Structures are given as C-alpha cells and as structure tokens.
Amino acid sequence: MRISRRTFAAAAVALVLPLSACGSGGDDGGSTDASGKVEGNITFQTWNLRANFKPYFEGLIADFEKKYPGTRVKWIDQPAEGYADKISADAAGGTLPDVVNVSPDLVAPLAEAGLALDLDKAAGKYRSEYLDGAWASHRIPGLSGTYAFPWYLNTGPLFYNKSLFTKAGLDPSTPPKTYDELFTDALQMAKKTDGKVATLANVPTIEDFGRYGVQLMNKEGTGFAFNDAKGVGLLTKYKELYDAKALDPQALTATPESSGKKFLTEAVAMNPGSALDLGNFKKQAPGLYKNIGITDQITSTGHVNMYVMGVMVNSRTKHTPAAVAFAHFVTDAQNQMSFAEKVAIFPSTAGSLDDPYFTKEDGTDETRVRIAAAKSLKNAVNYTPVLFSEQMKTALRNEVAKALQGKESPKAALDNAVKACDQLLKQQG
C-alpha cells in the first residue's frame, strides 16, 4: 500500500490537532448542586502539610470515609515552593483535584475562570459556622459569591535575635512594635555593628505598606493607591535603612529561603516566620535557638496581617456532594480545633477562639505566645489584596528596588508601581 502525501498530511493533522485542546480546559463542568448523596472517589490536595501532619490527615480522611460509606478520599500534598504553578498547570490541564487547599489570591483567578464552586450557592447553609471576616476573605471583587471554605488563620510570628539586640545596646525584652520603633532600632543596630548586622533581610511588601497604614486600593477596589504620601514616607525610611546597611545589602534579590538563612547565620537580627521555624532553629542553629525572641508583626495600625487558608471545591468535580461535604468536614469547628492543637494555627470557625485553649494561661511560653496571637487575630486584617497577582508583586518589588538604589525617587517608584499594577489589573479583566 502506498501512503499518499495527502493521506499522510491528514493523518498528521488528525494526530496533532486533538493536542491543541490541551491547556484550554474544556467545559465538562460538574454539578453545582451539593444536596445529593455523599459518595464517590475524590482527590484532596494540601499545601506542604504531609511532612509534619501525616497522621492527622490520615485520621481525618478515615473519619470522613467512616461517616460517609461509599466515599474514598485520595490525599495528595504539594511542596510549598511552586504551589501556584502546580495549581496553574493542573487547572490548565483539566486535572485540578476535587478539593484544593488555597489562599485568597490563588482562588481569585480560579474563580474568574469558573473553576471554583460558588459556596454561597452550594454550601450557604454552613456560612454561620464561620467568622464573618473569614468567610468573606474568599470573595472576589467583581464576582458575586464565595469561593472557598475558610480554614485556618495565622498571623505569623516575628523572630528576633536577643543576643544581637543586646550587643547593639538594645533591650531584648522590648523589641520594636511599630515601624517608627523598628526604624530607630535598626539604625542603631547598623551603627553599633558598623553595618555588619542588618535588622531586616527583605524589602517592603504590599503587606508592609498595609501595616504602615497606607491605603492599598481605592475605595471602589478598581485601582491601587499605595503611592500616597504615607506610602512614599515608608519607602523613604526604607531607603535610609538600606543606605545605612540596616537593611541587608542582598535584600533586593532576597527570597524567603535566603533571608531565613541570613537569620540562621545571624547576619540579620529579625525575620518573619512560622511556628514550624522554631523546630528548624533548634535543629540547625542551637546557638541561635537559645537566643530566639518571638514577637508580633510590626504594625503602625494596631492590626497585624492575617494569613487566611481556604479549602476550595473544584466546580468540575464529578462528585459535588462528596467534595463539598469533605471540604466542610476538613474546616468544621471540631476538626479545625483538633488541628490547632497540633500546630500553632487558629481556627476560622465562630466561637473557637474563645475556647480556653486560646484564652487561659498555663505559665508556659508556648501558651503565652498562643494566647497573644489569638488575641491579636481578633482584630487582624488580611492586608494582601485578593487581586494582587505574582506579576504585580514583581512590579512593586522592582520599583521598590530602584528607589532603594537611588535610581528613582520613592515617589516616582511608587507612581510607576501603581501604574504597572493598574495595567495588570486591567489586563486581568
């Protein structure tokens, strides 16, 4: 048999053409009705939790499967780094798990693409179980609905090196609380150590601007506004720190990992982190661990930044009742409380923060930190704008770097950053 050119071309097109569907998602959406029988196999994806909480999640899944016979939950966990890229690849390839651990900024593009189930419609009956602010944290400007169950909340501690504070003539028992105190202490630290020890390892982020009291977006939520006089004031102060080496010289290219290492090697005196870091300090830098101080985030507004974790249901799931039931099960008051007892996180369910576990002192440092954090959480604010994408973070970071290097004035840098972020916001539609 002879293959003609036409036949070959047709075969090649037939083989290659279906591939062009790859990445376009497709609209084989599941049902938005969660009222049916809870059954079927679903997949649950968490964000870097397997290493430390494997028994907890295995128990949680076993309890759910026992409560709803006929369900089976496959648990997958993704590393912290590149989590957004992993979700992005899964979403584009149509392989997004049924139930996904997300943060508000991750759920926004998924909701806009119609991949996140509107829980006001599918699970509105559970709304009263959660704190109002927590439930609202997964609402997306420009869309109606709520797109994830609120899960755990955290404020994230700020670690500081007491020994370096003492050497610089600062009182380690009174670490800075506001930005003005921070700037004063940081300049003193740099002066006393001849610029060898910096206080901070990171350039200011959008959350810093929020905690300094800068208005981040306009009232309508249609554009950014952090280039006001207050924003310029903050950046001007950071420029002063950078020039005095109170801000690490490598801060312009720092990543959370690299600044963590700087803190470990005692090259910087303060660094934000999570409760898990304490274990790392103990293991990797016992000398530092002995001198660790823990304090609240720096804020000039009286409100610390609250990080919100959520659990989203894929709108294309084939088992909507099971997926919604499981997402609710993971985030209900009982399971959030039992998770909070394993790690320093805080439940987003109504009334949980009034539990004696978060209010009653027992004399240990751990409990004191927990109670203080739970107290600050009650009036904490999620300063990260939901629509602030990775590209916007890069645009702000680059302009901040130009101001710190003296290539642009703080005012010009922030004007440019706002312009770039507004342009990206417009492109996001």
Partner 1 sequence: MATPTAPSRVRRQLPTSPWLFAAPGLLITGAFVLHPFVSTVVNSFTDRRTLIPGHFVGLANFRELLHDDMFWTGLRNSTLYIVGVVPALVILPLLLALLVQKNIPGITFFRSAFYTPVVASIVVVGLIWVWLLDERGLVNSLLETVGIGRVGFLSDQWLLLLSAMAVTVWKGLGYYMIIYLAALANVPRELHEAAAVDGAGPVRRFLDVTVPAVRPTMVLVAALSSVAAFKVFSEVYLMAGPSGGPAGEDTTLVMLVQRTGTGLTGRVGYASALSVVVFVVTVALMLLVLRADRKEES
- How far apart, in Å, are the Cα atoms of 383 and each of 59, 137, 387? 34, 11, 11
Residue number with CB closer to partner 1 (130 or 242): 242
Question: What distance, in Å, lies between the first and last C-alpha atoms of the chain?
Answer: 54
Minimal distance, residue 88 CB to partner 1, in Å: 5
Residue number with CB closer to partner 1 (24 or 379): 24
Site stretch for partner 1 (CB under 8 A), options 242-250, 271-279, 300-308, 317-325: 242-250
Residue number with CB closer to partner 1 (287 or 429): 429
Q: Which of 24, 95, 174, 184 binds partner 1 (CB under 8 A)?
A: 24
For partner 1, the binding residues in 139-158 under the rule CB under 8 A are: none
Contact flag: residue 138 with partner 1 (CB under 8 A): no
Which amino acid would we find at residue 162? K
Distance CA 373, CA 275 (A): 11
Residue number with CB closer to partner 1 (2 or 66): 2
Residue number with CB closer to partner 1 (51 or 113): 113
Q: Check if the beta carbon of residue 420 is closer than 8 Å to that of residue 238.
A: no
Give the residues across from 198 on adjacent strands.
268
Runs of H (alpha helix) within 193-268: 206-212, 229-243, 256-264
Contact flag: residue 252 with partner 1 (CB under 8 A): yes
Minimal distance, residue 337 CB to partner 1, in Å: 31
Contact flag: residue 208 with partner 1 (CB under 8 A): no
Minimal distance, residue 219 CB to partner 1, in Å: 24
Site stretch for partner 1 (CB under 8 A), options 43-51, 84-92, 123-131, 173-181: 84-92
Site stretch for partner 1 (CB under 8 A), options 232-240, 248-256, 305-313, 372-380: 248-256
Closest CA to 328 of 309, 308, 313: 313
Contact flag: residue 249 with partner 1 (CB under 8 A): yes
56 burial via Cβ count (<10 Å: 0-12, 13-18, 19+): middle
Minimal distance, residue 177 CB to partner 1, in Å: 29
Give the residues across from 152 on adjacent strands.
347
Tokens of 397: 């970071």
Rg (C-alpha) for the chain, rounded Å, is 24
Minimal distance, residue 267 CB to partner 1, in Å: 6
Q: What is the DSSP letter of 139?
A: B
Site stretch for partner 1 (CB under 8 A), options 59-67, 346-354, 377-385, 392-400: 392-400
SS (HEC) of 41-97? EEEEEEECCHHHHHHHHHHHHHHHHHHCCCEEEEEEEECCCCHHHHHHHHHHHCCCC
Contact flag: residue 412 with partner 1 (CB under 8 A): no
Q: What is the DSSP letter of 298?
A: P
Tokens of 275: 């409760």
For partner 1, the binding residues in 99-118 under the rule CB under 8 A are: 106, 109-110, 112-113, 115
Which amino acid would we find at residue 289? Y
Interface ranges with partner 1 (CB under 8 A): 1-3, 8, 12, 15-16, 19-20, 24-25, 84-85, 87-88, 91-92, 106, 109-110, 112-113, 115, 248-250, 252-255, 258, 265, 267, 389-391, 394, 397-399, 401-402, 405, 407, 424, 427-429
